[in-house]
Amino acid sequence: MKGLPPFQDIKPEHVEEALDVTLSENRETLTNLLKQKNISWQSFIEPLEAMGNTLSQRWSPVSHLNAVMNNDELRVAYNNCLPKLSEYATELGQNQDLFKAYKLLSEAQESENFSTAKKQVIDNALRDFHLSGIDLEDKNKQRYGEIQKRLSEIGSKYSENVLDGTQAWEKHIDNVEELSGMPQSALGGAKQLAENKNKPGYILNLEIPSYLPVMTYCDNQKLRKELHTAFVTRASTLSPSGSDWDNQAHMNEILALRYELAQLLGFENYGALSLATKMADKTEDVFTFLNELAERSLPFAKLEFEELIQFAKEKDKLEKLEPWDVAYYSEKLRTQKYDISQEELRPYFPVPQVIKGLFEIASRLYGINISSNSNMETWHEDVQAFDIKDVSGEVIAQFYIDIFARENKRGGAWMDECKVRRRDSEGKLQNPVAYLVCNFTPPVGDKPSLLTHNEVTTLFHEFGHGLHHMLTKIDIASVSGINGVAWDAVELPSQFMENWCWEPEAIPLFSAHFESGEALPNEKLEKLLAAKTFQAGMHMVRQLEFALFDFKIHTEYKPDEDFSIQDALDSVRKQVSVVPVAECNRFQNSFSHIFAGGYAAGYYSYKWAEVLSADAFSKFEEEGVFNPETGQKFKECILEKGGSQQPAELFRAFRGRPPTVDALLKHSGFM
């Protein structure tokens, strides 16, 4: 597939056969490559890269469609392919002849003149061979392959259970009085959900655009409790929808397999194994980092929560603040303190204006131009496609935006690769193409989709990932864009982009009232900025809870001990949590980031990279948030370099020094 994916032509019944053909062709190509007597970059690495690129281009659209247009037939085809891909990856990683070829190339005279990027490719490959079990005895190599295959299958099943468990629950409401306090935007969405199913009244479900407004605004405490209970028990035996999608056994097996994998490769635990490809050196460094942040932020979190308890008592004589009350009273407290609410801001953030302003900010910072491309085929009528052009007007990248929630679409927000920038053996350049996915409330009637400021920040975050992928200047796929970037640095460009959501100079670019077109009034802007650090301590310890839990279970798990995931989570909550947790809460059963995504023993990366992004942005605060020279330097030092150099080196090149935690603490209001 040389062009863009023909999404409408991709049929589930063709998927498995197409993958079989591709893997067979790749195996044959590799056999022929390994017959060479004299290995060189051009004769060996370039064909290998081309081989990997072919597989990526054929599989990427299938994997993407499975996430955004899921159906039973595609799910079966997708799951049938996972073991084959896992086996193929294990084959490559344990191919002694392939390993020897890389080693010979690393020692050849030619390598002395390799670019930094080429040297990084070789170094990464040799490292990854060891992490793929190249040094193991045959019996252990076989076991390694079995583990990887099973982890691939079970991770997919975990993700499916979360999706199915989420979609299995909904509540039909006839009487609008039960929804008192809910904003019109949310009522409109609930009414539309009912209309889509030919029912009167309103339908609520556990998708974020439906769930969050209930928790934040609905006066009906009983209803808030019902939705909260359904949400925090998804994919567990306690789910009101039943236990068909319980993930407990899957989590136990995933931890056991990851531990066994680490032991096979000579690591003490999976946490230590995960750090082999990250910036952090030792597991102790990660715990020290997280615990220090907890120590600095916990006093603020406790004060904020005590303030919330007192507020609820004074307002409604509430004797006990329950988990389903926290978001509701937090929003009321925010409104009282700052006279501003997320709903009040919605009319000023219509999706078309937010997207237009986001593109303008990127243009000012990096000298690029973004324009719509109606010729790019998409997978759904809501999806938009765009070109990115450089200062000369040449197209350097393309991307799709799939922004609205719908049935059979995975929840959350993410960026993924459609195509990677690379130059082939004939010198022809393949431009990068990205998928940007969110789950915001769709338009209702003739009114455009209106975002909260929090949702605006989410979109900016994912676009930051996209820019990292699309603005790279590296021509070797394995270190181009986000490829080869240490996982605890991969969030730097995304979190960095969020900063413009809070800048008075930037906000007028992406805000305009959807009816009048007026910019966000100064009075509201000042209130929004004043509320920036509202409950920052509570938000910080919430993220630290996730990160510590993730790292704890992956470093402390032992198969011969009676290890309890719930006990591990409870102990972390005892250490850092200030918000009450319902006894039925089974958050871990739907924590897809670590059990079905790439963040296992790496969720700390969000905070690690936030330190980098806050410190990087402080240079813009010093030199001007739209300073083109500073923007160009960030682009050249961080975005263009991809994974061709170590993140610490790239950060130092941009900032002139190593990162410090001070900027993050200052932005959070802790200094």
Angstrom CA distances, 27 to 24, 31, 33, 85, 618, stand at 5, 6, 10, 12, 49
Q: Are the CB atoms for 488 and 604 separated by under 8 Å?
A: yes
What span, in angstroms and rounded, lies between the C-alpha atoms of 208 and 637?
36
Question: Which neighbouring-strand residues pair with 372?
Answer: 386
Question: Which tokens belong to 652?
Answer: 């130092």
Name the residue among 94, 375, 92, 147 with its Cα closest to residue 263. 147
Q: Are the CB atoms for 399 and 370 separated by under 8 Å?
A: no
What span, in angstroms and rounded, lies between the C-alpha atoms of 569 and 581?
11
Rg (CA), the chain: 25
Helix (H, G, I), strand (E, B) or coil at 557: coil
- 200 Cβ partners below 8 Å, 6+ apart? 174, 194
3-state secondary structure 474-518: CCCHHHCCCCCCCHHHCCHHHHHHHHHHHCCCCHHHHCCCCCCCC
Q: Are the CB atoms for 289 and 280 separated by under 8 Å?
A: yes
What span, in angstroms and rounded, lies between the C-alpha atoms of 60 and 616?
32
The H-assigned helical ranges of 367-506 are: 453-470, 492-498
Side-chain-facing half-sphere of 300: CA atoms under 13 Å = 21
| Secondary structure tally for the chain: helices H, strands E | 26, 9
Q: Within 10 Å of residue 399's Cβ, how many Cβ atoms?
A: 24
What span, in angstroms and rounded, lies between the C-alpha atoms of 322 and 307?
15
Question: Which neighbouring-strand residues pair with 400?
Answer: 385, 435
Q: Are the CB atoms for 364 and 523 separated by under 8 Å?
A: no
Positive or negative, the Cα torsion across 372, 374, 376, 380?
Answer: positive
For the question of residue 462 being annotated catalytic, the response is: yes
Q: Are the CB atoms for 41 and 108 separated by under 8 Å?
A: no
Question: Which tokens belong to 225?
Answer: 């409790």
Name the residue among 160, 179, 157, 156 with its Cα closest to residue 168. 160
Q: Within 10 Å of residue 443's Cβ, how many Cβ atoms?
A: 17
Q: Are the CB atoms for 402 and 436 separated by under 8 Å?
A: yes
Say which of 343, 417, 455, 462 is annotated catalytic: 462
Q: How far is CA 652 from the centre of its chain?
A: 25
Task: Compute the residue count for the chain.
Answer: 671
Angstrom CA distances, 630 to 48, 626, 627, 633, 654, stand at 37, 8, 5, 5, 9
3-state secondary structure 528-556: HHHCCCCCHHHHHHHHHHHHHHHHHHHHH
Q: Within 10 Å of residue 130's Cβ, how many Cβ atoms?
A: 15
Residues annotated as catalytic are: 462
